[in-house]
Amino acid sequence: MADTVARIPSLVAALRESYDAGLIRDLEARRTQLQQLRRMLVEQEGPILDALATDLRKPPMEAYAAEIGVALSEIDHALKNLDKWCAPERVKVALTFKPGSAKIVPEPLGVVLIIAPWNYPMQLLLAPLVPALAAGNTVVLKPSEVAPATAAVMAQYIPHYLDERIVQVVTGGVEETTALLQEKFDHIFYTGNGTVGRVVMAAAAKHLTPVTLELGGKSPAIVAADADLEVAARRIAWGKFLNAGQTCVAPDYVLVDASVEDKFTSALLRAVHDFYGDDPKHSADYARIVNERHWDRLTALLDAGGFDATVCGGHGDRANRYLPPTVLAGVKPDAAVMQAEIFGPILPIIAVADVDAAIRTVNDGDKPLALYVFSGSDAVIDRVLSRTTSGGVLVNHTVLHVGVTELPFGGVGGSGMGSYHAKAGFDTFTHRKSVLRKPTKPDPSILYPPYKGWKYKLVRRFM
């Protein structure tokens, strides 16, 4: 550990030298690194899936689709669009600045730091890496120590496939992350919780380093009276219990019209049974809580009460980090489960009078990372869209919007700042440099002192 911390300053300095030397400035160099990253994901699929199973017991389908598949999509999209993204953009020049030409030139920021979380430990490490490389930056990757098997696989294979002068992996915990944050970077990209996000932002401020913060929050699902309840229940159950609820855009709680609460709850229980059987503990398709500390945190929320009934689920098995899909009914606004993002397989259901009441509940809290609305009425959907603010919205489904490559992904307010994926990611790691070119002739005297009366009149007329 001490050795890792001690070498961080020289590691960052070496990446700065590589950037200054232009090792990834050329588009072909960027393309090569992206192609190598793709090779790694294809050739090392087995070890990656094994690591994800060790850390979170992710089912292979979930692990491939949400981790490897997402990263491959980002790489393929970047390779396809790299030339277009990097091309200078010509802009018009007003008459008063002619003769001359103007353009916006995308250029890399420099050396960037990417700090990943543990819940999707590979995807959320590599998905930001793709646009960082496409934009021409050198990169320090900090995988999460809470998912140690995946961190070890990344640390093993990334240096084997990518140029170590361009990408470095730093493993470890708080001490290593703290040491990294003391260094001067040109951008810091952090995915995680708001508490650490504030620490990252404070450290970045000392160097005036821009940050992207991908945080979380209590993402609501609104179920209107006219929703297809069977479909809504199935899709909410899938989005919530995917990865055992450890997903930043998982539906955190449900606001359901009181007139259909019982029908929705019954449909939700059927969906859970259809997905995971009589005992989800024995389902090969249900993940585990990442560690005992988080299991204790989640069970403490249940022990704190503030709800009328546990409709299904409960405490599970600490030794196996198992917490079953848990649905709570009659949840009070001041319940412990409603005070912060749950980040686990606990789903509170809150009955509301109507969609307007649901909107007021959402707006009383922090702006969420995602919002889900289920309704058969365009008018209802448009009302929710126009009267709420969130990082993203998905109508009549959950989570899937994150996989649409060309949709920017990011939060707003307490759920984050900045966005990425596809062109939005490229722009995050790029400076759009304004360039105006002027010929040396003609060189009219109107710009230069002395400012005689006729010059002032011309300026007033044409500007």
Active site amino acids = 214, 248
User: Can you read off the two tokens belonging to residue 156?
Assistant: 């093993």
CB 186 within 8 Å of CB 209: yes
- 80 DSSP β-pair partners: none
Angle at 285 between CA 248 and CA 126, to 5 degrees: 45
Q: What is the DSSP string of 305-361?
A: --SSEEEE----BGGGTB---EEEES--TTSGGGSS---SSEEEEEEESSHHHHHHH
Quickly tell me which residue has 């196996």 as its tokens. 320
User: Can you read off the two tokens belonging to residue 109?
Assistant: 């920021």
Q: What is the DSSP string of 135-157?
A: TT-EEEEE--TTSHHHHHHHHHH
Cis peptide before 99 (omega within 30 of 0): yes
CB 287 within 8 Å of CB 58: yes
CB 76 within 8 Å of CB 306: no
CB 415 within 8 Å of CB 85: no
d(CA 356, CA 54): 44
CB 375 within 8 Å of CB 224: yes
d(CA 337, CA 347): 9
> What type of residue is 179?
A
Q: In which element (H, E) is residue 197 found?
A: helix 194-205
d(CA 57, CA 41): 19
Backbone angles phi, psi at 195, to 5 degrees: -60, -50
CB 358 within 8 Å of CB 365: no
CB 275 within 8 Å of CB 285: yes
d(CA 100, CA 105): 16
